[in-house]
Amino acid sequence: MNKKLTAVVICPGRGTYNKDELGYLSRFHRDKTEIISIIDDYRKLQNQPPISELDSELNYQMRKHTTGENASAVIYGCALADFYSIDRDKYDIVAVTGNSMGWYIALAVAGALNPENSIELINTMGSMMSNGVIGGQLIYPIVDENWVINKKIQQEVLAHVEQVNQESGNEVYLSITLGGYLVFGGNKPGLKALEQSLPLVQDRYPMNLFNHAAFHTPLMNEISIKAKKLLSNDKFVAPKLPLIDGLGNIWQPYSTDVEQLYHYTLGTQVTEPYNFSKAIEVAIKEFAPDKLIILGPGSTLGGSVAQNLIKHHWLGMQNKSDFISQQKEDPFILSMGLEEQRKIVV
């Protein structure tokens, strides 16, 4: 019998269910009726459209499919079903991590929450701003065309943020460190000032993220307080798989303080920056996996993960072309949202 390959599983965040992903559940997961019905039944009780219904609509509607209460539940359903599709005879999953909302999915995948408590957490957090989104998010690259992070650009961008925050009424914070990109969260005047201040690059950045709130910033303090009132800590248990959080900490199955995990989930990571880059660094350096498996839907996280591998010269990669060669020869990153790579995983 062939030796299993070790893998770290990466769970996707909010920006991963787009027009091309419509129908993802019905394309790949017609057999996952049990998982999907738990989510659908919960949402029906909240008078929200079931994810099977949202996913099977004929047309993708930005205003409908990208709202927090809908996007988070659909992405969770797709990602969880993908996780259960991984060939466990071929892959030994040694750790789990995620980006931003992907942390909640990681908790579910790692077994720190049962299926019923997972959808309650994800749906509650996703629905917090159904009456109006608090602030917004903006993304900006700090890499060159070879996907090498440029420290000088990074410092200049952070200097722009500092300058913007000196103006009365502006509030902008680092929200997510995302490989070769920085995501900022802030109030509307602050983000508008930052957008006007930063140089235009690649004809598309700085880019505002549609229907995204100021996640992982102090503007979410009230959301954190409200979440702790709505969700009790007795829903959490120690994970069955090691979990890497947005500070790069590892929550181990036999040494996790469940109370601390609860406070990190509904406190720290809600109001403080999410360092996805650190999570990937810890994943490769502490677990040295044979593969990184990114759950679907979508495949947008692949670039960010690759930029982190290049940063640490992982497998000798120095730039984008090294990464592309590596992926052609013996792919290290397997994105389940990409048909070719999916075949290697399921």
pLDDT tens digits, 227-269: 999 999 999 999 999 999 999 999 999 999 999 999 999 999 9
Identify each DSSP E strand in 144-196 by its residue range.
172-178, 181-186
Residue 1's pLDDT is 58
What superfamily does domain 5-131+221-345 belong to in CATH? Answer: Malonyl-Coenzyme A Acyl Carrier Protein, domain 2 (3.40.366.10)
Q: What are the residue ranges of CATH 3.40.366.10 in the chain?
A: 5-131+221-345
- Pairing state of beta strands 243-244 and 250-251? antiparallel
Please tell me the CATH code under which domain 136-213 is placed. 3.30.70.250
- Pairing state of beta strands 181-186 and 91-98? unpaired
> How confident is residue 330, by pLDDT bands cut at 50, 70 and 90?
very high
Residue type, 174: L
Q: What is d(CA 170, CA 153) in angstroms, rounded to the nearest whole number? A: 22
Residue 258's pLDDT is 98
> How confident is residue 279, by pLDDT bands cut at 50, 70 and 90?
very high
- State the DSSP code for 176: E
H/E stretch holding 121: helix 115-127
Q: What is d(CA 262, CA 265) in angstroms, rounded to the nearest whole number? A: 5
Q: What are the residue ranges of CATH 3.30.70.250 in the chain?
A: 136-213
The rounded percent of the chain whose pLDDT value lies above 90 is 92
- The mean pLDDT value for 134-150 works out to 96
Q: What is d(CA 77, CA 28) in angstroms, rounded to the nearest whole number? A: 12
- The mean pLDDT value for 261-283 works out to 98
What are 186-205's pLDDT values in tens digits?
A: 999 999 999 999 999 999 99
Residue 211's pLDDT is 87
pTM recorded for the entire structure: 0.97
Residue 2's pLDDT is 76
Asked whether the predicted pLDDT for residue 118 surpasses 80, the reply is yes
> How confident is residue 212, by pLDDT bands cut at 50, 70 and 90?
very high
Asked whether the predicted pLDDT for residue 15 surpasses 90, the reply is no
